[in-house]
Amino acid sequence: MMTLPRYVLITPARNEARFIELSIQSVVSQTVRPIKWVIVSDGSTDGTDDIVRKYAAEHPWIELVRTPERRERHFAGKVHAFNAGYDRVKGLEYEVIGSMDGDASFDSEYFAFLLGKLAADIELGLVGTPFREGVKRKYDYRFVSLEHVSGICQLFRRQCFEDIGGYVAVRGGSIDHIAVISARMKGWKTRTFIEKECVHHRVIGKAQDGALKTKFKYGGKDYALGNHPCWELSRVAYQMTKKPFLAGGLALGAGYLWSAIRRAKRPVSPEFVAFHRGEQMGRLKHFLMGKKDPSPNAWPRPAERA
C-alpha cells in the first residue's frame, strides 16, 4: 500500500463568512487530513473569525491567525497573509504544503487523490485539479495547458515550494501563475488532474462591463508575465470566440498593448520571460503544425482567476 506524504494547508481568508464553513467542512471530512491547517484571517470584519474559532476548538490541528485590517485590496496582500500562516508551519515535519482559498469545497478523497499523485511521481512538484463555478467549468480543456495549476488550490512538494522561494508578492496579480512557471523553471513537473475538481463558490465576472474590464486587466497581466506577442494574438483570437463575443478578445489585446506602450514594469526576471516565451512558442508551433504537444498541454490558456 502506498504511503501518502504528510501535508499542511494554509488558507488566506478575507471576509469569507459566506463560504468558509463549506471549506472547513470539506477539509474536516477528508480521509487524509493535514497535520496542520492555518487559516489566516486577513483583516476580516464579517464574522469569518468566529466560524473558524468554532471549528478550531473542535479540531486542534486547525489554527486561526489574525492579521490587522488593511484598507488597500491587492493581490500582494494574499501573499502576506499566506506568509503569516507559513511562519506557523516551518518547524513541522511535512512533505507537502498546500495553498487553498477560503471559498472552495471538494469531496472527501480530494487530498488523498492529489497526495497519491505526488507519491507516485517524485518529479511532480505542484499538482491541482480544475475548479467549477456554478454549473460550468472555468477551463475548456481542449484549449488549456494541463501544466497550469489553478490558484484555488495548489499542492506543492515542500522542496519545490522552497526551491521557488514561495509566492511572489505582486500587487497586480498572477501570483499563482508565477509560482507554476517558476516551478517548471526549477525543473519540476506541474500538473492539473482532471479526474477530480473543486467547487469555487464565489462566482466572478458575471456582468458584461465587469467582464470587459477583467479581460483588459488580464491583458496587462499577460504583458507583465512576458507573454510572447504571437501567443497573445492567439489568445485574443480565442477570446473573441467567447462571451462577450469579439469585445472580450479586443479588451484582452487592448490591455496587453496598453501595458506595452507604457513599458509597464514586469515583476519577473528576464530569465523567467525567456523561459515562459520558449514554452509558449513551442506549444504554438506544435499546434500550427498539427502535431501532438509533447507535454500535456493544448493551445492556448484562457484567462485565469488570479
Please tell me whether residues 212 and 151 are part of one structural domain: no
How much is the average pLDDT of 184-193?
Answer: 98
Residue 291 has a pLDDT of 62
Give Cα 34 to chain centroid, integer Å.
19
15 and 95 within one domain: yes
Q: In what order do the strands lie in the sheet with 36-42?
A: 62-67, 36-42, 7-13, 96-100, 153-157, 124-128, 189-192
Domain count, the chain: 2
Query: Could you read off the pLDDT of 81-90 as tens digits, one per residue?
Result: 999 999 999 9
Is 281 contained in some domain? yes
Query: Residue 260 phi/psi, 5° resolution?
Result: -65, -45
The amino acid sitting at 301 is R
Same domain, 80 and 224: no
Q: Indicate whether 296 belongs to any domain.
A: no
Do 192 and 216 belong together in one domain?
Answer: no
Lowest mean pLDDT across 130-134, 143-147, 165-169, 197-201: 143-147
Same-domain check for residues 274 and 150 = no
CB 44 within 8 A of CB 11: no
Whether 193 maps to a domain, the answer reads yes
Backbone angles phi, psi at 33, to 5 degrees: -90, 155
Nine-digit cell string for 207: 456582468
> What are the Cα distances from residue 202, in Å, to 19, 135, 199, 235, 306?
8, 13, 9, 25, 13
User: Is 2 within the bounds of a domain?
Assistant: no
pLDDT in tens, 44-98: 988 999 999 999 999 999 999 998 877 666 678 899 999 999 999 999 999 999 9
163 and 24 within one domain: yes
123 and 268 both lie in a single domain: no
Distance CA 219, CA 77 (A): 22
- pLDDT for res 207: 42
- Domain of residue 80 covers 7-200
Does residue 1 form part of some domain? no
Asked whether residue 300 is assigned to any structural domain, the reply reads no
Question: 200, 228, 244: which is the final residue of a domain?
Answer: 200
Domain stop point among 200, 225, 246: 200
Question: Do 126 and 242 have their domain in common?
Answer: no
pTM across the whole model = 0.88
Residues 3 and 291: their CA atoms lie apart, in Å, by 38
Q: Are 211 and 248 in contact (CB under 8 A)?
A: yes
Q: Given 153, 169, 200, which residue is the final one in a domain? A: 200
Would the pLDDT of 237 be above 90? yes
How sure is the predictor about 298, in pLDDT bands with cuts at 50, 70 and 90? very low
| Residues 156 and 276 placed together within one structural domain of the fold | no
The residue assigned the cell 486587466 is: 217
